[in-house]
A and B are shown apart, each in its own frame.
Chain A
Amino acid sequence: MSDTAEQSVGMTGAPLGRPAGGPGGPALRVLRIFARQREATVFVVAVALFLYFAIDQGSNFTSKANLVTLFSENAAPIIIIALGEVMLLICGEIDLSVGFVLGFAPYFMHYLTDFYGVPGLLAIFLALLLGVVVGAINGFFTVTVGVPSFITTLGTGFILLGLIDTTSHDEPAAIPADVVGIGKWLEGYSWAWITWAIVLAALFHILLTRTRWGLHTVSVGGNQLGAREAGIHVSRIKYGNFMLTGLLGSLVGLQTMYFTNNIAPTAGQYTLMFYGVTAAVIGGTAMLGGSGTIIGAFFGAILLATLEDGFPLIGVNADTLSIVFGAAILGAMVLNVQLTRLRERGQS
C-alpha cells in the first residue's frame, strides 16, 4: 500500500511542479502558449513581417494595388496549391507534378475549344477533370503499383511538361473567346483570387478537421497499419487526396491564365509547387505524415507572399531576392523546429 501511495504522489507532483519550477519567466511562458498551437508560430512571423513592411514602406506597401498583388497574385495560388499538398503530406505522400497540371490545364482547354469545337463551359469542366485524372494516375503508380510518390509525380510532372512544350511548340496562346466571360468569376475582380483561396481554405479546414475523410487522412499518415486494421481503405484515401490536389492544380492553372490574360508554357512548374509545399511545412505540416493544419499552411503562404512582395520594395533586387528568400525559409524552418521541440518538451 505504501508503495502505491508514494508512487501516486510522485506522479501527480511532477507535472504540477514543472511549470512553477521550469526555466524562464513570463516571456517564455507566453512563447510556450504560442508554441503549443502549431499555427501560432507562422501566424506571428507573417504578421510581424507584414507590419515591418507596412511601417518601413508606408503607402508603397499598403496601397490597394500592392495588396492586391500580395494577396491575389502572390498568396492565393500558393494557398490553393498548399491545400492539396497539406492533405497529401498528412497521409504520407507528396505531389511534385501539380505545377505542370497547372500549366497544361489551360492548354488542354484551349485545344478543346479552338481545335475540337467543345463549348467553353464544358471545356473548362474537362480541364478541371484533367487534374483529377492526373491525380488518379499519380495514385495508381503510388498506391497500386507501389512507386514512392516523390518518384511517381516527378515522372508524371516531366511527362506533362513534355506535353505542354510539344503541343504548344513553346508558344503562348490567347484565351479562347468562348471562355473569357467566365473568367471574371475565376479571376476578373481584384480580390477574386484571394477570395477563392480563403473560401477553399475554410472548406479544406473543415474537411480535414471535421469529416471522416480528414480523420482518415490523419490516420493513414499517423499509423498506416493501424488504419488498415481499423478497416480504413488506405488506398482510397491516398487516391482521393492525389485527385483533390490535381483538381486544385487545374483550378489554379485556369486562374493564372485569366490573371496573366494569356496561356503561357512557363506557368506554374516547380516553383509554385515548392512554394505550396514550403507553405505547408512552415505552417507545421510534418513531412513524414500524420499531422498538419490548413490554417498553418494558409499563413505560411501569406508569409512567403509577403517576402516575395516586400523585399523588392525595400530595394532587394531580383537577383539577390532568391538568396534572401532561401535564407528566410531556412530561418523560418529553424524557428519552427525549435518551437516544435519546446512544444514536445512541454507535453512530455
Chain B
Amino acid sequence: MTSAIPDAAAGPASQGEDVLRAEHVSKSYGVVTALTDVNMRLARGEVLGLIGDNGAGKSTLLKILCGFQPPTSGQIFLDGQPIVLKSVDHARSLGIDAVYQDLALVNQLTVFQNMFLNREVIRWPLVNNRAMRRETRERLDEMGIQIPSVNSLVAQLSGGQRQAIAVARSVFSNPKILLLDEPLAAMGVKEGAIILDLVRRLKAEGNVSIIIIAHNYGQVLEVCDRVNMIQGGRITLDKYSSETSAQELTEIVVAEYRKALAEREQQDRQQSA
C-alpha cells in the first residue's frame, strides 16, 4: 500500500476542507427509489472511490453530481455554498467535469484534434495544427500518457489509451472536481495501470479532487484516499483506504448478498406456506 492520506488528522466526519458535499440526497424514479438519504463529501485534493454492486446507486449519484439530473430531495454544496446544478454545462462551468464510459471522443479524428475539440488553436482562417500537436505532446508527456503518436486516429488506440485521452482532455480545462465513471471497466491489468498512473499523478499535483466509480476493490484501494460503499441506495461504509482492505470490502458485499438471499428464501417459504 503506497497510498498516503494528505490530511490524516481529519476523520471521515470532517467538513472543513470539503470541496463537494451531498447532504440528505434522495432520488426516486416513480416508485423506484435509487438513492436514500445519501451524505457524501469530497475533500480538496482527495481521491474518493465509490464502490458497490450494479444497481446500488453509484451512477445515479454521479449523474446528480455532474448536473445530468436533479436529486428528488437533498442539497449539494460546492466549496461550502449550496448550489443547484441546472445542467452538465452548468456543472462544467462551475468546475465539475465528468468523463463517461462513452468517452465523447471522435474516433475519426486524431488524438490532437480530439484533445482540442471545440477549443482549437486558430491561425485565421485555418487551425494551427503545429501548435496543437506540440501542446498535446507536451501535455500527454507531462501526464505520462503513452500513445503511438498524437497523429494517430483515436479509433486506432486501445481502450486504456482512449480512456486516458478522455481524462487528459478533461484535465485540460482545469476542473476542480473530476468524476470518472468506471474508468477501469473492461480493461486489462496493463490498460488499467495507464489510468491508475494518471490518477496518481493528478493526485500528486493536487489541483483536482477526484471521484472514481469502480468495481475492482484492489485497484480502488491502490489509488483512492478513501472509499464509500453504496448498497441499496445508501452509503453503508466510509473509510480511509489505509483502514480497510479488499478482503473486508468483499466480505461486506458477500454478507449483503447472503442476507438478501436468506431473506428471499424466507419470503418464498412464507409464500408457499
- A residues within 8 Å of B by Cβ? 3-4, 7-8, 11, 206, 210-212, 215-216, 218-219, 221-223, 225-227, 229-232, 290-291, 347
Q: Which residues on B sit within 8 Å (CB–CB) of A8? A: 190
Interface residues of B (CB under 8 A from A): 88-89, 102-109, 113, 117-118, 120, 122, 125-127, 129, 155-156, 188-190
Chain A residues with CB under 8 A of B120? 212, 215
Do A290 and B107 contact each other (CB < 8 Å), given the known contacts A210-B126, A226-B102? yes
By a CB distance below 8 angstroms, the chain A residues around B104 are: 223, 225-226, 229-230
Residues of chain A within 8 A of B108, CB atoms compared: 218, 221-222, 290-291
Chosen A-B contacts, 25 in total, with CB atoms closer than 8 Å, are A7-B189, A212-B122, A215-B113, A215-B127, A216-B118, A218-B106, A219-B106, A219-B117, A221-B108, A222-B107, A222-B108, A223-B104, A223-B106, A223-B107, A226-B103, A227-B117, A227-B118, A229-B104, A230-B104, A230-B118, A231-B89, A232-B118, A290-B106, A290-B108, A347-B155
CA distance A210 to B88 in the complex (A): 30
Q: How far is the CB of B212 from chain A (nearest CB, A)?
A: 20
A218 to B117, CA, bound (A): 11
Q: Are B117 and A3 in touch, CB under 8 angstroms? A: no
Grouping DSSP codes into helix (H, G, I), strand (E, B) and loop, the A interface class, with mixed when no group exceeds half, is: helix
Closest to A11 in B: B190
Contact A215 B109 (CB under 8 A): yes
* Shortest CB distance B68–A (Å): 11
Q: Shortest distance in angstroms between A203's beta carbon and chain B's nearest beta carbon?
A: 11
Chain B residues, CB < 8 A from A290: 106-108
Cα(A221)–Cα(B107), bound, Å: 10
Beyond A206-B126, A222-B109, 17 extra complex contacts between A and B, CB < 8 Å: A7-B190, A210-B126, A211-B125, A212-B127, A218-B109, A219-B106, A222-B106, A222-B107, A223-B104, A223-B105, A223-B106, A225-B104, A227-B117, A229-B104, A230-B104, A231-B89, A290-B108
Min Cβ gap A194→B in Å is 25
Q: A3-B189, A225-B102 are in contact. Are A219 and B109 (CB under 8 A)?
A: yes
Closest chain B residue to A3 by CB distance? B189
Give min CB distance, B41 to chain A, whole Å: 27
Say whether B107 contacts A231, CB under 8 Å. Answer: no
Contacting pair A347 B156 (CB below 8 A) = yes
With a cutoff of 8 Å between Cβ atoms, the chain B residues found around residue A218 in the complex are 106, 108-109
Interface centre among B102, B113, B117 (most CB of A within 10 A): B117
Residue of B nearest to A224 (CB): B106
**Chain A: minimal CB distance from B260 (Å):** 35
With both beta carbons as reference points, the residue of chain A lying nearest to B122 in the complex is identified as A212
- In the assembly, what is the distance between CA of A227 and CA of B102, in Å? 12
